[in-house]
Amino acid sequence: MTQISSNVYYIVEKDTLGCNPLCYLIFGSENKVLLVDTGCGCGNLYFYLKNQAILKDKRFIVVNTHNHPEQIGGNWRFSTTGRFGLAHAVDDLCASRRHKYYTRLLESNWHWTIETYKITRWLKDGEMILLGPDTDSRNVVQVLWTPGHTPDSLVLWYPHDKRLFIGDLFYRFDDIMFTSAKNNR
């Protein structure tokens, strides 16, 4: 876990699939943290995070930037599935409302299987995710729909830090990928 500003961190998952996805943490002013994407799921991201001293007493809101396995592979560890319900200390597992059918697809032509998970909050374009009182700019993250890479793509604008969290809309190993753009005119 690497700090990149006063309240933003990133994690590079060292996965066995060679994707090395980035996950981000945005700390609010109180006890909430926004987790952007959950990686491939090769390791136990939930366990890793809960064992970090700065996260021990924090509650999580998890947001998927889109429904690709390198962003959602760890979702099941933060989900309502299982006998105990929502993972301890997780308030919501969120995804874009833009194309729910696509987001709900659990079977795909990807080369690994995604464990079952449940979205608990469908995000609207322009919606604000609050990590505490909205009077403190550290607590406000805005949802922006950006279908094109996938029909359900979204980005998160964090004005406090002037940061845009884009998933792999811009992929560090390839060109920008708008594989679903023709379906979103």
pLDDT of res. 86: 55
pLDDT of res. 114: 75
pLDDT of res. 184: 43
Residue type, 144: L
Helix ranges (H only) for the chain are: 45-50, 69-72, 100-104
3-class SS letters over 122-148 = EECCCCEEECCCCCCHHHEEEEEECCC
Q: What is the mean pLDDT of residues 124-145?
A: 94
Convert the pLDDT of each residue in 104-118 to its tens digit: 555 455 556 777 788
Q: What is the mean pLDDT of residues 123-145?
A: 94
pLDDT of res. 10: 93
Give the Cβ contact number of residue 160 at 10 Å: 18
Would you place residue 98 in the very low, low, confident or very high pLDDT band (cuts 50, 70, 90)?
confident
Which pair of tokens denotes residue 162? 């002037």
- The values of phi and psi at residue 124, to 5°, are -95, 155
Cβ contacts of 5-11, under 8 Å, gap ≥ 24: 5/161, 5/163, 7/138, 7/160, 7/161, 8/158, 8/161, 8/163, 11/39, 11/45, 11/48
* The CATH number of domain 2-183, selected from 3.30.460.20, 3.40.50.11540, 3.40.800.10, 3.60.15.10: 3.60.15.10
Q: Are 74 and 45 in contact (CB under 8 A)?
A: yes
Show me where the domains of the chain are located.
2-183
